[in-house]
Amino acid sequence: MAWTGDHSQRPAEVFTVIHATPAMHQEAVLLGSNAVVAWLDRDIRASPQDIAAAIVQEMGMLAEDVSVVRHFPEAYLVRFSHQHHCADAAGRRDLKFRDTRLQMRSWRLEAHSKNVDLVHHVRLCLDGLPLQAWDEFAVAQAIGPECSID
């Protein structure tokens, strides 16, 4: 009899389709009006907090009005609380950042989102795996061949 945690009864592959919801459409509209993608002219290390601080300083806005996260394929996604800040940033196209320039372009649905297979990073709690079994081989066996360990 199979029980909920019986790995032998689970399928080898699982596919999920997520249909667009009204909230997803609303988020796309909000990103289109309040977000820019950004990257640095030179390959230097900068945290999202450093980028946010530079934008706040150069554009003269409040720190809580801008949020920066890492973004692929561009380096950063900058989200503004106010549409006029986003329009100003996109209009400037670049800002001074240390000894280089921070390039900014408007986020557009057509250019910055598409249906692709995404590789997801998850943190997984494996109950019942004894301490001596915590090696790469045992964990790989526990999570299955469709996953990789980072």
Percent of the chain with pLDDT over 90: 37
Whether 7 is in a domain gets the answer no
Q: Please, what are the averages of pLDDT over each run of 10 residues along the chain (150 residues)?
A: 56 62 84 92 89 93 94 87 93 90 88 61 70 73 69
Average pLDDT of the chain, as a whole number: 80
Please tell me whether residues 103 and 37 are part of one structural domain. yes
Segment 62-99, tens digit of pLDDT:
999 999 999 877 789 999 999 999 999 999 888 999 88
Q: Is the pTM of this model over 0.85?
A: no
Computed on alpha carbons and rounded to an integer, the radius of gyration of the chain in Å comes to 21
- Cα–Cα–Cα angle for 131, 4, 142, nearest 5°? 35
Please tell me whether residues 56 and 128 are part of one structural domain. no
Element (H, E) at 56: helix 48-59
State how many domains the chain has. 2
Please tell me whether residues 27 and 68 are part of one structural domain. yes
Please tell me whether residues 40 and 87 are part of one structural domain. yes
- The CATH number covering residue 58 comes to 3.30.70
Whether 77 contacts 107, CB under 8 Å: yes
Whether 8 is in a domain gets the answer no
Q: What domain range is 129 assigned to?
A: 119-150
